[in-house]
Amino acid sequence: MSSELTLLHFHRNLRLHDNAALHIAAGLDRPTVGAFVFPPDCNPRQRVFLRQTLAELRGGLAALGIPLHVFTGDTADALNGLLAHYPFAHFVSPLPVRRAADERLPAVYRADDALPVLSVQPDGLPPDFAAYRTAWLQQARQAEILPPPDAAAWQARQTRLPAECRNVPPLPDVQAVPLTAQGGEAAARRLWAGFLPRLSDYPLHGGFPAKKGVSQLSAHFCFGTLSVREVCHDIRAGRQDGAAWLDGLARRAYCRRTVPFSDGLLELTTKGGRAALHWLQPPKMIRETDGSGGETLMRWQEGRTGVPIIDAAMRALNGGGSLHPALRRLCADFLTGRLNISAAHGEACFAARLTDYEYAVNHHNWQQVGRLNNPFAESLNLDPDGRFIRCHLPELAHLPASALHAPHLADSDVETNGYPPPCVQV
């Protein structure tokens, strides 16, 4: 068997367009085998989203002649199975990989899709977010996208791929769960095409959950079904500003930089005469929470706190796996500031439910929780006409706006259909 093969590892870059790893592999001009390993801490909704995404990606890669092997379990162990069976000369990965000084090992290529924003701090961490955001936006304005894959060149290249490399197992089965976001690059591009003409409205409507003023692309940016460089390029080509909306993408990048190696750090060495990967730093995952919180925590998780905006938000999260950014902050501040429950419980709850869950982003956001002065006032600010609350709390949908945000203060003859009073004094 030829030893001139490339192992192309996919991680948070599950797309064909503007894919740095795929571009690097094309430049190596060797027959290529693709691989993806489900993250060890992905929740049931993410598994559904990823399976949809991988089915589409596998088909797109197959059109180029590239087989995509999909695994569950430990990433290093899964990739080592391929390294043991096939003599690869090149390894391309979005993850950081340190290579031992051994000429027998495959050459390693890091395919980092992040915009090149340099740290200015001696500890290697980024500066404060304001400074990082300024530098990130400057890079965003200059972002250039890579050319699309050359199908003819790939097909010709892949004719040299050994037949045994083409046999890929079926995708893993996943548990069916309700999901707001549809996986796949095609779905991401449709959402972006629909949102781009409305981008200028984001500063006006983006802060209101009921107005659907956000892009709904968060899960796609989490797993890289849409390129950040491409959306920046499209905004610039349309002569739009977009800075308010791009703030969210800059913050995601900032969170990833503040938690170094959140997806792990691999090392490629020789073991038993073969190339083998192992973790120098394993991926960071949520720690087990203790049993504190009790009934109050459960009421927050299930949307039964007696504060309509909080309960509507949590029921929306439980029902589809997505939650407006302003509501994430509101629910977090309420849990820690009003219910006096550790942020670790909220962090674990979001990790188990969000389709766009990512350790670095979720962990960073839960470190920023503050005290919530008045959830009812915030309710009026975020959902002034009550559309969001009525959508997710049908038992209160009949109430006028004057009673909807704080039904416990309404007249005693107002029917709330069993909706509970607040579980804590607010």
Quickly count: other Cβ atoms within 10 Å of residue 217's Cβ.
22
> Burial level of 286, CB count in 10 A (0-12/13-18/19+)?
middle
Dist CA 73 CA 39 (whole Å): 8
Q: Is the pLDDT of residue 3 over 70?
A: no
Average pLDDT over residues 358-381: 91
Per residue in 224-273, pLDDT (tens digit) is: 999 999 999 999 999 888 999 999 999 999 999 988 899 999 999 999 88
* pLDDT of amino acid 1: 44
Taking a C-beta distance cutoff of 8 angstroms, is the pair 33, 66 a contact? yes
Per residue in 323-364, pLDDT (tens digit) is: 999 999 999 999 999 999 999 999 999 999 999 999 999 999
Dist CA 250 CA 119 (whole Å): 14
Residue 251: alpha-carbon gap to chain centroid: 13
Per residue in 40-81, pLDDT (tens digit) is: 899 999 999 999 999 999 999 999 999 999 999 999 999 999
Dist CA 219 CA 108 (whole Å): 28
* pLDDT of amino acid 272: 84
Taking a C-beta distance cutoff of 8 angstroms, is the pair 1, 27 a contact? no
Dist CA 51 CA 72 (whole Å): 12
- Tokens representing 14? 């599950």
Per residue in 300-314, pLDDT (tens digit) is: 999 999 999 999 999
Quickly count: other Cβ atoms within 10 Å of residue 408's Cβ.
16
Triad 373, 291, 352: Cα angle to 5°: 75
Q: How confident is the model at residue 13 (pLDDT cuts 50, 70, 90)?
A: very high
Closest CA to 288 of 198, 370, 352, 209: 352
Average pLDDT over residues 108-137: 81
The model carries a pTM of 0.95
Per residue in 264-288, pLDDT (tens digit) is: 999 999 998 899 999 999 999 987 6
Q: Is the pLDDT of residue 116 over 90?
A: no
Taking a C-beta distance cutoff of 8 angstroms, is the pair 164, 33 a contact? no
Average pLDDT over residues 154-183: 94
Q: Is the pLDDT of residue 162 over 90?
A: yes
* pLDDT of amino acid 286: 85
Question: How many CA atoms within 13 Å lie on the side-chain side of 303?
Answer: 17
* pLDDT of amino acid 412: 81
Average pLDDT over residues 79-84: 95
Task: Give every CB contact of residue 78 below 8 A, 6+ residues apart in sequence.
Answer: 35, 37, 71, 72
Q: How confident is the model at residue 117 (pLDDT cuts 50, 70, 90)?
A: confident
Dist CA 26 CA 10 (whole Å): 14
Dist CA 145 CA 148 (whole Å): 9
Taking a C-beta distance cutoff of 8 angstroms, is the pair 55, 37 a contact? no
Taking a C-beta distance cutoff of 8 angstroms, is the pair 36, 247 a contact? no
Q: How confident is the model at residue 373 (pLDDT cuts 50, 70, 90)?
A: confident
